[in-house]
Amino acid sequence: MDLYAENILDHYRHPRNAGELKKFSVRHKEENLSCGDELSFDLKIKNGKISSLAWTGTGCAISQAAMSILSEELEGISVDSAEKFDSKKIMELLKVPVGPRRTKCALLCLHALKNALHEFKKEPTQSWTETISEN
């Protein structure tokens, strides 16, 4: 098996930052209606930085591993930096080719992140189309 595919399976079997925060700045849930994958995202934001985060979810290996991988990237970075994440960045983090039928699975974490940040800033959340077209 490919080394990068092994990484996806490792994150799926042993997700990083999985769970819920007792105290959070924002909690947001998203789902991919086309396949049923779900993610719930807790962010603790302090002084403009993501000081801690946790997530729970169900779904395929790609959606869950992508969230696990993204969560490692987000801890300690500024909200401004997190807002700059895009679909290209998520695909780079995954390091495996993702076909068109799995794109929404891979990008569910990005959609959840973007909408959690919008919610934190008291802005309207976005549709899938808006999230993906930001890139």
Q: How many domains in the chain?
A: 1
The three-state secondary structure class of 105 is: helix
Contact call for residues 57 and 39 (beta carbons, < 8 A): yes
Give me the pLDDT at residue 131, please. Answer: 83
Per-residue tokens: 21: 């925060």
CA–CA separation, 77 and 70 (whole Å)? 12
Tens of pLDDT, residue by residue over 100-134, are 889 999 999 999 999 999 999 999 999 988 887 75
Tens of pLDDT, residue by residue over 53-71, are 999 999 999 999 999 999 9
| Residue 119, domain extent | 3-133
What is the CATH classification number for the domain harbouring 127? 3.90.1010.10
CA–CA separation, 52 and 24 (whole Å)? 8
| Predicted TM-score of the model (pTM) | 0.93
Give me the pLDDT at residue 47, please. Answer: 97
